[in-house]
Structure 1
Amino acid sequence: MKWSELCIHTTQEAVDPITNVLHESGSSGVVIEDPEDLQKDWPTDLGEVYELDPADYPVEGVYIKAYLPVNSFLGETVEEIKQGINNLLLHDIDLGHNTITISEVNEEEWATAWKKYYKPVKLTDHITITPTWEEYQPASDKELVIELDPGMAFGTGTHPTTVLCIKALEAVMPEKAEILDVGTGTGVLSIASAKLGARSVMAVDLDDVAVQSARLNVKLNKVHDRVTVKQNNLVDNFNESYDIIVANLLADIVIRLSDDAVNLLKSGGFFITSGIIYNKKDDVRTKLEQSGLSIVKTLEEDDWIAFVAQRN
């Protein structure tokens, strides 16, 4: 089968929202080529490291590559994608060059090729993520291993926003915590919470593909007795109280969610938020404090920010 590859030249800030637009338009795979990856020192103790070709990367900004089947609706789909991306300007998201190029590829070239770059990654001193198709032996009994198969859902669990959330969970997780994971994606934060000792986790996502992927990964990691995955829009129709609410979302959504999050937190509970690009940091901090939360910890990696806020 033949597919069209859409290559979008944009910014790091726009990666998550554009990825969402692409997924909603029927993309069956996304590749992100960020030139910052060329500068990183990748660990060599967890498997083979593949040499990255600088020619595949932009000089500035980020390439997002998406794949759509070649059919009679392709033209309309591309136009819908362009319109959806341009609509992000209404939310003050910097799109950078915002150019789209299209090329044709065969299914065999991309359907599995990306897997050779997805290797076990040690996220923290205690947690390692490994793809299900890789053999991995923990270095010690204390190491927590999360097996992940992203499938068609976005996220391999190694993005800086996810790492920041996991570090925050490690820092503040109370014993036998009850947790709400908003926008769970592949379920990695819910699985990490369960492995860190949470008594129960409610994982929600609006996207059906993400829900199915999260359920699969929860079973793979044998935490289905503590993690429930549900299709839901943010925290709509929730009345329970939680020790921790974790939300790896866009800054604008975090701002919109903060008042509802406070109402669902137990006294002294924590609201962990990530997915916040640096230039949105002050806006999110201000809204969290206005909602009655105190910022107790700020974590940073690359251009991303995560806040740990506590209910007063």
Structure 2
Amino acid sequence: MGLVWWRLEMAAPAELEESLLWKLPLLGVTRVALQHPPEAPEQRQLLAWLPESDWPADQRQELERALAPLGEPFQVALPQVHWRRQADEDWSLSWKSHWRPDPVGERLLVLPAWLEVPPEQAGRLVIRIDPGSAFGTGSHPTTRLCLEALEALAGERTRAGRGADLEGLRVADLGCGSGILGLAALRLRAASVAAADTDPLAERATRQNAALNGLAPSALAVTTGSAEALLALLGGRPAELLLCNILAPVIEALIPWFGQLLSPGGVGLLSGLLVDQAPGLERDLAAAGWRVEGRVEQDRWGLLRIRSASDVA
């Protein structure tokens, strides 16, 4: 007889999605999927599969208690958790069935690794991702904001005659998660990506996703650590494009490093912040010599595009 499984089901509000995907693996729950129907992307549902033998009632209750604080920074309550007992569930096929190709912007396609490109999306730039790695699958508003901003920047450079897309740019990805932003930059013809994350699981996920996309280590280098580790990976040479999709308080703490990570004339894309956090972050950036040249919002989340204040607009 095969294993018996508990299937966890709960709503996944946009504010909590990334936090849940980060926290669950740390609590020993690695079989996780998200349902986000393209026709109703706001109705996300989180699913997870746990072996019954490893998760008796008291352990499941402890898991719920450990997840509850995730909503506090956003002043939302953790949605109700539902448990379904399933005999002989082939979870590996079950969770995969919930993922779909996800077009982003005008040109990008985030594709679960086991799926084929749909014929109607054949002209898009494909980013293959193993959603089992979590840490950023393209569905969260902040990730989508970054992907769309990368595409917009590529279009601006092409129209201005500065090369095709992001051609020639060295990219620094601080807080890389799954590596999805660096992969998108490379699909948009960036020369190379240096990526770092404080979580070693994110480093592993980024390496795995780079391999899924057929990339050599020289194209996407990744390490565990924060700004100092990223600067070392860059060989002390600042990049022309800085990506930073992290929560606002972390971005604020990292501002002193931006001058070493981003070259004069370079562009920074900062996301992970709530819209009401943007004014305070803009003040901190201005005080440190950075100019916000654009702000984009989606749901309650925002993205800031920055340059050095000394750069000519």
Q: TM-score, normalised by structure 1?
A: 0.78
Matches within 5 A, 1:248-263: 248-263=245-260
Q: What per-residue deviation string (whole Å, max 9, x for no partner) do you get for residues 80-134 of structure 1?
A: 6624642763xx3323255444443346254322323322222122222222322
The answer for the alignment partner of 2:181 in structure 1 is 189
Identity %: 26
The answer for the alignment partner of 2:162 in structure 1 is none
In structure 2, do the counterparts of structure 1 residues 33 and 216 end up closer, same or farther at CA, with 3 Å as the change threshold? closer
- Code of the residue aligned with 1:82 in structure 2: it is R
Contact residue 5 and residue 104 of structure 1 kept, 8 A:
yes
The answer for the alignment partner of 2:196 in structure 1 is 204
Per-residue deviation at 1:68?
3.3
The answer for the alignment partner of 1:283 in structure 2 is 280
The answer for the alignment partner of 1:299 in structure 2 is 296
The 3-state SS of whatever aligns with 1:117 is coil
Q: What per-residue deviation string (whole Å, max 9, x for no partner) do you get for residues 246-265 of structure 1?
A: 12222222222222233321
Contact residue 127 and residue 213 of structure 2 kept, 8 A:
yes
**Aligned partners of 1:7 and 1:252: how far apart in 2?**
30
Higher mean C-alpha displacement, 282-291 vs 98-107: 98-107
Task: Note the aligned Cα RMSD (angstroms).
Answer: 3.2
- Code of the residue aligned with 1:250 in structure 2: it is L
- Code of the residue aligned with 2:207 in structure 1: it is R
Report the number of matched residues: 290
> Structure 2: which 5+ residue stretches go unaligned?
155-165
The 3-state SS of whatever aligns with 2:74 is coil
Matches within 5 A, 1:207-218: 207-218=199-210
The answer for the alignment partner of 2:161 in structure 1 is none
> Structure 1: which 5+ residue stretches go unaligned?
42-56
Contact residue 34 and residue 98 of structure 2 kept, 8 A:
no
Q: What per-residue deviation string (whole Å, max 9, x for no partner) do you get for residues 16-74 of structure 1?
A: 2233222211111334467x976459xxxxxxxxxxxxxxx6xxxx7544443334575
In structure 2, do the counterparts of structure 1 residues 29 and 304 end up closer, same or farther at CA, with 3 Å as the change threshold? farther
- Code of the residue aligned with 1:192 in structure 2: it is A
Within the alignment, does 1:219 sit opposite 2:211 as a pair?
A: yes
**Aligned partners of 1:267 and 1:260: how far apart in 2?**
14
The answer for the alignment partner of 1:47 in structure 2 is none
User: Would you tell me which structure has more helix in proportion to its own residues?
Assistant: 2
Contact residue 12 and residue 45 of structure 2 kept, 8 A:
yes
In structure 2, do the counterparts of structure 1 residues 294 and 80 end up closer, same or farther at CA, with 3 Å as the change threshold? same
Contact residue 110 and residue 126 of structure 2 kept, 8 A:
yes
The 3-state SS of whatever aligns with 1:262 is helix
The 3-state SS of whatever aligns with 1:237 is helix
In structure 2, do the counterparts of structure 1 residues 79 and 162 end up closer, same or farther at CA, with 3 Å as the change threshold? same
The 3-state SS of whatever aligns with 2:14 is coil
Higher mean C-alpha displacement, 166-175 vs 73-82: 73-82
**Aligned partners of 1:206 and 1:77: how far apart in 2?**
28
Matches within 5 A, 1:1-312: 1-7=3-9, 11-32=13-34, 39=40, 64-71=46-53, 75-76=58-59, 78-79=61-62, 82-83=65-66, 85-86=68-69, 89=72, 92-97=73-78, 99-106=80-87, 108=89, 110-136=91-117, 143-173=124-154, 174-224=166-216, 226-239=218-231, 240=236, 241-312=238-309
Contact residue 21 and residue 81 of structure 1 kept, 8 A:
no
Contact residue 14 and residue 141 of structure 2 kept, 8 A:
no
In structure 2, do the counterparts of structure 1 residues 238 and 298 end up closer, same or farther at CA, with 3 Å as the change threshold? same
Contact residue 180 and residue 203 of structure 1 kept, 8 A:
yes
The 3-state SS of whatever aligns with 1:271 is strand
**Aligned partners of 1:157 and 1:220: how far apart in 2?**
16
**Aligned partners of 1:28 and 1:186: how far apart in 2?**
15
Per-residue deviation at 1:186?
2.3
Per-residue deviation at 1:193?
0.8
**Aligned partners of 1:182 and 1:138: how far apart in 2?**
34
Contact residue 203 and residue 224 of structure 2 kept, 8 A:
no
In structure 2, do the counterparts of structure 1 residues 121 and 12 end up closer, same or farther at CA, with 3 Å as the change threshold? closer
- Code of the residue aligned with 2:65 in structure 1: it is K
